[in-house]
A and B are shown apart, each in its own frame.
Chain A
């Protein structure tokens, strides 16, 4: 069966420090991968998505970047965190063919920038 792992679960980082959040998927090949951010009590904002290795689409220009070094690995990074980067980050995957009919989410990372 397919599983998605996202870590760490919580993270407190100082302003100006780098960030690396990792997400891996098991049990499927060539998935579409997504990074969403959720502000407190709000909806989900799509940050990046990827339909294949090395293919990254950015939805919102900001202080973050994403990479997909392997088929089932998706990394969210920042060189220098801002206070506004605080939030709940969610990784998700979907089947890569035929249009998206279901997304599977990781458990999320609560990032607090201090």
Chain B
């Protein structure tokens, strides 16, 4: 299976702390994407990092990519209660027409 794996499966932190989630994948990729899912809702695209990039920032989000280790991390700085959600990494399949999602990290940010 090409499915990625996120770790940790669940993360519980206090507001103001940083949250780091990791993703590993199995095949060569041209990009890796991170999505957020609020409970019982659809997924929302957060950020994309290309295979020739090592780090990318968007607001309080920082994504890193290590293609040699087939891994990526998502850092949310100064977390807020509203960041409580599940976070998934996704990579294009070989035909580049579909996305394969990881298993997700459930983040709980307590006030």
Contact A104:B45 (CB < 8 A) given known A43-B103, A43-B104: yes
A105 & B44 in contact (Cβ 8 Å cutoff): yes
Complex-state Cα separation, A43 to B106, whole angstroms: 11
Partner of A100, one of B97, B102, B106: B97
B41 an interface residue at 8 Å Cβ cutoff? Answer: yes
Q: How large is the interface on A (under 10, 10 to 19, 20 to 34, 35 or more residues)?
A: 20 to 34
Contacts of B43 in A (CB 8 A): 44, 90, 92, 103, 105
- With A and B bound together, what is the CA distance between A99 and B31 in angstroms? 10
Query: Does B100 touch A at the CB level, under 8 Å?
Result: yes
Which of B31, B35, B41, B97 has the most A CB atoms < 10 Å from its CB?
B97
Enumerate chain A residues within 8 angstroms of B40, measured Cβ to Cβ: 88, 108, 110
Q: Name B's interface SS.
A: strand
- Chain B interface size, as a band, is 20 to 34
Interface of A is mostly: strand
Q: What 8 new A-B contacts, CB under 8 Å, besides A100-B92, A102-B48, A107-B42?
A: A44-B101, A46-B99, A46-B101, A49-B98, A99-B30, A101-B33, A102-B45, A105-B42
Q: Which residues of A contact B (CB under 8 A)?
A: 6, 32, 34, 36, 41-44, 46, 49, 51, 59, 88, 90, 92, 94, 99-108, 110
Residues of B participating in the A interface, judged by any CB pair closer than 8 Å: 3, 30-31, 33, 35, 40-45, 48, 88, 90, 92, 96-104, 106
